[in-house]
Structure 1
Amino acid sequence: MKIKRNNRKLILYISMSLDGYIATIDDDLSWLSVVEKEGEDYGYAEFNRTVDTYIVGRITYETVLRLTGGVFPPAQHHQCYVLTRQEVQSENGIIFYNGDIEDLINRLKSDTGKNIYCDGGGQIVKLLMEKNLIDEYRVSVIPILLGHGKKLFNGGTPIINLKALPSKQFESGLIHLRYEKN
């Protein structure tokens, strides 16, 4: 039986190095600062107004907590789901989810609301791609080659045909790519 869906989309919104990494081996994200420019948020605030739900993997969640001194900024504005293999009690407005990812995404898409923001990491992206659940890919390519680290796209997924949407290049060298499922 098909689930009736609203127009909610699951959007992967993430940055990667030119060679496809989202973090160094030790989860260092300081390389993202190469494109920091006062007053420039690369469309992040505008994008944030279009979403009300945030999905992230446990490793990325813990990395954000470490970088922010224990604060999880998305929880201040969005309903947050942290995907994990362990059973963890919800806290501070964050739902730790260890059930079937397809069930969660289908339920969220069938609910009324804005779009759903996915911020990875690579294991979560692969899981969502295996089930073909990502509706739109918004990838900011940072002009740096890391040489090694944690990949955004880990491979081993089925072919997914995409349609290019308008991309945008910024003075800093960042290029914001957009694709949607065909």
Structure 2
Amino acid sequence: MSDRKLILYVSMSLDGYLATDDDDLTWLETVERAGEDYGYAELMDTVDTYIVGRKTYEKILDIAGALPQAEKMECYVITRQELLPEKNVIFYNDDIEHLVEELKKEEGKNIVCDGGADLIKVMMEKRLIDEFIISIIPLVLGEGKRLFKGGVPYQDLALIDSKSFDSGLVQLHYVRVDSK
């Protein structure tokens, strides 16, 4: 068994939203600073597998035109549809718990998950997320799509790091300490 961990890396507004109701993410631009990636490159050096929900994947395609992570690592897009794989992108529509358990058995670096809320909820229900890196953007959206949906089991987390940045962004890094 390897020591691979599944790490959630995500941003939310101060009031807990990851997107507006119409999936707008332009509010994330409020913390963009030249030369500042909020630890993303450092994290990505520790991972070799990327998991993302289909809606987030499509949003990335809309913004960037391609999935940049697919140039460097194996990527899984969690979807209900049966789609053919693309270069380093596997469209996965089976049991997410089975996928994560199999990936964790393989030798390699860590696994990173980049939302959305439905995927995060399923992963939390199954206690698949080992670490949470949450960047809090200093604004209140007032409404939108919540990062954490209700209905997940209690999970005890321990803070292992926190950082604040000149932009006002605060990044919290937790590890899950409760047992299954």
State whether TM-score is above 0.5. yes
Which residue identity does 1:114 align to in structure 2? Answer: K
Asked whether 1:128 is paired with 2:135, we answer: no
State how 1:25-36 maps to structure 2 within 5 Å: 25-36=21-32
Q: Could you tell me how far 1:155 is from its partner in structure 2?
A: 1.1
How far apart are the structure 2 equivalents of 1:83 and 1:67?
19
How far apart are the structure 1 equivalents of 2:71 and 2:144?
30
State how 1:7-26 maps to structure 2 within 5 Å: 7-26=3-22
State how 1:109-128 maps to structure 2 within 5 Å: 109-128=104-123
The structure 2 residue matched to 1:102, chosen from 91, 97, 102, is: 97
Q: How many residues get paired?
A: 177
1:17-53 Cα offsets, whole Å, 9 max, x none, are: 0011111111111100111111111111111100010
Which residue identity does 2:167 align to in structure 1? Answer: S
TM-score (norm 1): 0.95
Structure 2 unmatched ranges of 5 or more: none
Report what 2:166 is aligned to: 171
CA RMSD of aligned residues (A): 0.8
Q: Is contact 2:73–2:88 with CA below 8 Å preserved after alignment?
A: no
Which residue identity does 1:20 align to in structure 2? Answer: G
Q: Could you tell me how far 1:157 is from its partner in structure 2?
A: 0.5
How far apart are the structure 2 equivalents of 1:33 and 1:107?
36
How far apart are the structure 2 equivalents of 1:173 and 1:91?
38
Q: Could you tell me how far 1:59 is from its partner in structure 2?
A: 0.4
How far apart are the structure 2 equivalents of 1:92 and 1:147?
39
State how 1:27-106 maps to structure 2 within 5 Å: 27-69=23-65, 71-106=66-101
Percent identity, aligned pairs only? 58
TM-score (norm 2): 0.96
How far apart are the structure 2 equivalents of 1:88 and 1:66?
18
Q: Could you tell me how far 1:92 is from its partner in structure 2?
A: 2.4
Q: Could you tell me how far 1:78 is from its partner in structure 2?
A: 1.5
Q: Secondary structure at the match of 1:47?
A: helix
Which residue identity does 2:48 align to in structure 1? Answer: D
Q: Secondary structure at the match of 1:123?
A: helix
Q: Could you tell me how far 1:171 is from its partner in structure 2?
A: 1.0
Structure 1 unmatched ranges of 5 or more: none
Displacement over 3 Å in runs of 4+: none
1:81-132 Cα offsets, whole Å, 9 max, x none, are: 0000111111122000011111100000000000000001000000000000
How far apart are the structure 2 equivalents of 1:57 and 1:6?
25
